[in-house]
Amino acid sequence: MATTDIQDHCKNLILDSSKTLLCRQGSTCSDKRLFGMQAFWAQIYIIPTKVKKIIEAHCRSYLWSGSNAITKKALVAWDNLCSPKSVGCLNITNTYIWNRAAIAKQWWDIEHKQDKMWIRWIHTYYIKQQAMESVQVPKQACWLVRKFFEARNLINQMQIQPTRQSLIRQIYYQAITARTTVPWKCMMFQNAARPKAVFTIWLQLLGRLLTVERLAKWGIEVEPKCCLCQMHDETREHLFVQCEFTRKVWRRVGQWMQMQYYNPVNWDQHQQWLIHNSKGKSRKAQIFKLVCTEVTYAIWIERNARIFEKHNRTWEVIAKEIMYVACVRATPRIYNVIHSFRF
């Protein structure tokens, strides 16, 4: 298998995805479609670093630009996306670590599954009844077999449990560097909102949305006033918390979902309020999570439409759209509750 074939396969998948998907689906599409291709080769083959970097560049470009042309535009570093959601990442599979985990699993198979023909061949020619822990890496063996032997160090550091989780996944999660969890992790799990809305709130919580305040820090000159109220400068805090336009949307949506809007004064209070109401598995928490994610997305889309398309909508129209979307996106568990709310 030529490495260029893997690259071409990856490019074609991205091209195909960008043609068939009308909107960017965030990490979901990027991970499932692209990773499926890599997972097969990663189990039998050490993918060269250069190829892995090219594949990552395509995945990264697709996530941030929606096309298969390589671009360096990214609001979050790729490595920061490849950790679990609980630490504020998107849980995109890290190809490099997955490949190492998959090869380490081959060594585990050599140790435990001696009924396979190729494993018996390795035992007969290279291991020859020696202890698995101390057997030397055979210098005469081909490159791939030597890599299996070298993967022994990784698997020896792992604690393999007899669980339903696949062995590669167990090794993979143990090999990922531990990071501290983020307080808003509850927003990222079991959120029924549209993937692009979840992606937007994730960027908002990380403080990576390209607001005027952030653009100004990079020396880009743009109109500083908030396009929703024309009263104050646009910051994340103003746009999503303090802006009267946003508050009107929240009050209307809150009235619909029988929940009083809390009127937070600053970003920290707003975030605390989100976390407090999204924690747990109750129906109320699930509905709140869905609605607040769609509110954030709607405000961001309205802001962009006003700036780039000169198209304005009223807060009543936006609030109504959020309610309709929430009804459509409701999971079976919250369907009856959400459909009992009166418009």
Among the listed residues 8, 13, 96, 12, the one whose alpha carbon sits nearest the alpha carbon of residue 47: 96
Q: Do 166 and 189 contact (CB within 8 A), yes or no?
A: no
The nearest distance, CB 342 to Zn ion, in angstroms, is 29
**Toward Zn ion, which CB reaches closer, 19 or 311?**
311
The nearest distance, CB 227 to Zn ion, in angstroms, is 8
The nearest distance, CB 304 to Zn ion, in angstroms, is 14
In this structure, what token pair is assigned to residue 229? 């109220």
Residues that bind Zn ion (CB under 5 A): 226, 228-229, 243
**Toward Zn ion, which CB reaches closer, 234 or 294?**
234
**Toward Zn ion, which CB reaches closer, 124 or 314?**
314
The nearest distance, CB 232 to Zn ion, in angstroms, is 6
Residue 26 φ/ψ region, left for φ over 0, alpha for ψ in the -120 to 50 degree band, beta for the rest: left
**Toward Zn ion, which CB reaches closer, 208 or 232?**
232
**Toward Zn ion, which CB reaches closer, 6 or 226?**
226
Q: 138 — phi, psi (to 5°)?
A: -70, 120
**Toward Zn ion, which CB reaches closer, 68 or 246?**
246
Look at the block and give the residue holding tokens 């009308």: 22
**Toward Zn ion, which CB reaches closer, 210 or 229?**
229
**Toward Zn ion, which CB reaches closer, 109 or 233?**
233
Helix (H, G, I), strand (E, B) or coil at 233: strand
Q: Do 295 and 322 contact (CB within 8 A), yes or no?
A: yes
The nearest distance, CB 211 to Zn ion, in angstroms, is 11
Instruction: Give the Cα separation of 263 and 265 in Å (integer).
Output: 6
Among the listed residues 88, 4, 104, the one whose alpha carbon sits nearest the alpha carbon of residue 46: 104
Instruction: Give the Cα separation of 151 and 167 in Å (integer).
Output: 14
Angle between helices 3-20 and 27-44 (to 10 degrees): 160
The nearest distance, CB 212 to Zn ion, in angstroms, is 11
- Burial of 282 from C-beta contacts in 10 A (0-12 / 13-18 / 19+): exposed
The nearest distance, CB 207 to Zn ion, in angstroms, is 18
Residue 79 CB contacts under 8 Å (≥ 6 apart), including other chains: 94
Number of C-beta neighbours around residue 204 at 10 A: 22
The nearest distance, CB 109 to Zn ion, in angstroms, is 60
